[in-house]
């Protein structure tokens, strides 16, 4: 079952499996903005990252003296969500804990994801509620993959990322196992633009901490079409594409992969969010399509 929300400008499709975006089209220019999900490169389109972002050392963490196994980016992206509410312009998806999640993640929770279209904007709101009797520890993040090249007659290298503030942030390299190295390397040098090339991602994702910008656009001098992704309140950012694939992921994160020197204790994990019993955490990102 595919859920569609739409208005006079946008049509958006979402699958209850993983509450994952499956398509984003503008009706006037008939462009598809989301990656096709070609499994020869990467079979996902916009997975939801919860209750961790990135990978753990040895895919394990410890909490209250017990060791748990949890794969990269957590389990939400592979779970069936309940469609809790649907209108012509919005849809809300809900995931709650069950016997399977509690084996891997010992916290009762409700994760809500609300998609809404307004004019040429799609907004995506995450709501995490702690339904247990002790503090819970989690991360949440986005992983949308956008088509590049977008317009007919353009190439991948015709596009660039535009940051809404001047950037001087360093890049945090990933180890072969997917952990964050302990020192950044120089990357941005007083610029707002990052030219896109396939080679940019040959060594895995570009990971940044606390960049100056809270908006990144995909633009080209050869077409007026592109998009702007806004992500206030997300302290970490990943930019990634599968090798030689025609997309780029812009990934706002509240959380980050384990560092190479991480202790493995969940409460000590960098970027982990602590939520009190009955507490509610919300973050929202949005994308404007042009």
**Residue 251 and residue 240 in contact, taking contact as beta carbons nearer than 8 Å:** yes
Q: How many CB atoms lie within 10 A of CB 285?
A: 23
> To the nearest whole number, what is the mean pLDDT of the chain?
97
**Residue 71 and residue 79 in contact, taking contact as beta carbons nearer than 8 Å:** no
Mean pLDDT to the nearest integer, 228-248:
98
pLDDT tens readout for residues 158-176: 999 999 999 999 999 999 9
**Residue 138 and residue 40 in contact, taking contact as beta carbons nearer than 8 Å:** no
Backbone angles phi, psi at 251, to 5 degrees: -120, 95
pLDDT tens readout for residues 105-162: 999 999 999 999 999 999 999 999 999 999 999 999 999 999 999 999 999 999 999 9
Locate tokens 């204790």: which residue? 265
Query: What confidence tier does 49 reach under pLDDT thresholds 50, 70, 90?
Result: very high
Query: What confidence tier does 96 reach under pLDDT thresholds 50, 70, 90?
Result: very high
- What pLDDT, on a 0 to 100 scale, did the predictor assign at position 130? 98
- What pLDDT, on a 0 to 100 scale, did the predictor assign at position 161? 98
pLDDT tens readout for residues 52-64: 999 999 999 999 9
Residues ≥6 apart with Cβ < 8 Å to 236: 53, 141, 207, 208, 209, 210, 252, 253, 254, 255, 256, 271
Nearest to 197 by CA among 149, 250, 253: 149
Backbone angles phi, psi at 99, to 5 degrees: -60, -35
DSSP string, the chain: --EEEE-SSEEEEEETBTTEEEEEEETTT--B-B----TTT---SS--BBS-SS--GGGEEEETTEEEE--TTBSGGGSBPEEEEE-SSEEEEEEE--HHHHHHS---EEEEEEEEEETTEEEEEEEEEE-SSS-EEE-EE---EEESS-STT--GGGEEEEEEEEE-PPB-PBPTTSPBPSS-B----SEEEEE--GGGGTTS-EEEES-S-SEEEEEETTEEEEEEEE-TT--EEEEE--TT-SEEEEEEEES-PPBTT---BGGGSTT-EEE-TT-EEEEEEEEEE-
- What pLDDT, on a 0 to 100 scale, did the predictor assign at position 91? 98
- What pLDDT, on a 0 to 100 scale, did the predictor assign at position 62? 98
pLDDT tens readout for residues 171-220: 999 999 999 999 999 999 999 999 999 999 999 999 999 999 999 999 99
- What pLDDT, on a 0 to 100 scale, did the predictor assign at position 231? 98
């Amino acid at each position: 079952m595919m859920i569609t929300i739409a208005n006079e400008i946008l049509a958006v499709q979402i699958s209850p499996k993983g509450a994952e975006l499956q398509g984003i089209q503008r009706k006037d220019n008939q462009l598809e903005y989301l990656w096709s999900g070609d499994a020869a490169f990467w079979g996902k389109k916009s997975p939801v990252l919860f209750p961790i972002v990135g990978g753990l050392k040895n895919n394990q963490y410890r909490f209250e003296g017990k060791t748990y196994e949890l794969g990269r980016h957590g389990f939400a992206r592979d779970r069936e969500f309940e469609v809790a509410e649907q209108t012509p312009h919005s849809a809300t998806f809900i995931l709650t804990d069950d016997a399977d999640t509690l084996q891997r993640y010992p916290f009762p929770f409700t994760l809500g994801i609300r998609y809404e279209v307004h004019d040429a904007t799609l907004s995506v709101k995450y709501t995490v509620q702690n339904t247990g009797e002790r503090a819970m520890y989690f991360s949440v993040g986005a992983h949308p993959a956008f088509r590049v090249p977008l317009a007919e007659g353009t190439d991948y290298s015709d596009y660039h990322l535009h940051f809404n503030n001047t950037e001087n942030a360093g890049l945090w390299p990933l180890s072969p196992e997917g952990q964050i190295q302990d020192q950044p390397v120089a990357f941005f040098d007083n610029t707002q633009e990052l030219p896109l090339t396939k080679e940019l991602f040959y060594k895995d994702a570009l990971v940044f901490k606390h960049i100056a910008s809270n908006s990144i656009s995909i633009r080209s001098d050869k077409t007026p079409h592109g998009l702007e992704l806004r992500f206030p309140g997300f302290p970490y950012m990943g930019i990634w594409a599968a090798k030689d694939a025609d997309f780029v992921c812009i990934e706002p994160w509240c959380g980050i992969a384990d560092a190479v020197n991480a202790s493995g204790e969940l409460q000590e994990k960098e970027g982990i969010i602590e939520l009190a019993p009955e507490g509610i955490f919300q973050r929202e990102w949005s994308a404007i399509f042009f």
